[in-house]
Amino acid sequence: MSGRWARAMLSAYRFAGAAAYPLVGPYVAWRTSRGKEDRSRRRERYGVAGRPRPEGPVIWIHAASVGETIAVVPLVESILDYGVNIVLTTGTVTSAQVADERLGDRIIHQYVPLDLKPAVSRFLDHWQPDLAIIAESEIWPMTILELGARRVPQVLVNGRLSDRSFTSWKKRANIAEALFENLAHVVAQSDVDGERFRSLGARPVTVSGNLKSDTAPPPVDERVLATLRRQIGARPTWAAISTHDGEEVVAAEVHAMLHKRHHGLLTIVVPRHPDRAEALAAQISGMGLKVARRSKGDRIAADTDILLGDTIGEMGLYLRLTEIAFVGRSLTSEGGQNPLEPAMLDTAVLAGRNVQNFREAYQRLLDSGGAKLVRDRDMLAGAVNFLLTNEVARHEMMAAGVATVDEMRGALARTLKSLEPYIQPLVVKSRLKGANGR
CB 336 within 8 A of CB 355: yes
Per annotation, catalytic residue among 68, 314, 341, 360: 68
Instruction: Quote the CA–CA distance of 385 and 237 in Å, as a whole number.
Output: 11
Give the Å distances, CA to CA, from 190 to 63, 209, 273, 302, 320.
19, 6, 28, 46, 29
- Judged on CB neighbours under 10 Å (0-12, 13-18, 19+), 199 is middle
CA 188 vs. chain centroid, Å, equals 15
Instruction: Quote the CA–CA distance of 286 and 306 in Å, as a whole number.
Output: 13
The vertex-331 CA angle with 328 and 332, nearest 5°, equals: 100
Specify whether 55 is catalytic. no
* Identity at 376, one-letter amino acid code: D
CB 324 within 8 A of CB 394: yes
- Phi, psi (deg, nearest 5) at residue 329: 55, 35
H runs (alpha helix) in 17-92: 26-33, 66-80
The vertex-350 CA angle with 349 and 352, nearest 5°, equals: 145
What does the DSSP 8-state code read for residue 270? E
Catalytic annotation, residues: 68
